[in-house]
């Protein structure tokens, strides 16, 4: 259960990052409200997951998911540039997340 909540919280991290971008420096009301709500819910989910998961692994997975989803949405929806180096870097982030999960399971 902690892993599912952590993954969901990582996706919400991407949501708050994208809301922050849309808020235009917190000057637009609804994107700013979305930013605050998604930040709080994302951090609550991370906090819950940390009850049972190691902090290093959980935090790396949370930030990795958030960074990856944010980058993909930026490229796919917001018109940010796409390059082979960016795509390879995203694959490496995902590989790192999988590796951390495998290492944690092997240590158990």
Cα 7 from Cα 73, distance rounded (Å) = 17
How many residues are present in the chain?
Answer: 108
What's the alpha-carbon Rg for the chain, to the nearest Å?
A: 15
Asked if pLDDT for residue 104 goes beyond 90, the answer is no
* Alpha-carbon span 28 to 14, nearest angstrom: 18
Residue 74 vs residues 17, 45, 102: alpha-carbon distances, Å: 10, 24, 29
- Prediction pTM value: 0.90
pLDDT in tens, 29-78: 999 999 999 999 999 999 999 999 999 999 999 999 999 999 999 999 99
Report how far apart the first and last C-alpha atoms of the chain are (Å, whole number).
16
């Amino acid at each position: 259960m902690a892993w599912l909540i952590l993954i969901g919280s990582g996706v919400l991290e991407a949501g708050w990052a994208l809301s922050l971008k849309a808020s235009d420096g917190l000057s637009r009301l609804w994107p700013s409200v979305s930013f605050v709500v998604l930040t709080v819910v994302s951090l609550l989910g991370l906090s819950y997951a940390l009850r049972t998961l190691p902090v290093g692994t959980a935090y790396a997975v949370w930030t990795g998911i958030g960074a990856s989803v944010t980058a993909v949405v930026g490229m796919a929806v917001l018109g940010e540039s796409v390059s082979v180096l960016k795509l390879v870097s995203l694959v490496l982030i995902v590989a790192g997340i999988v590796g951390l999960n495998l290492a944690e399971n092997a240590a158990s």
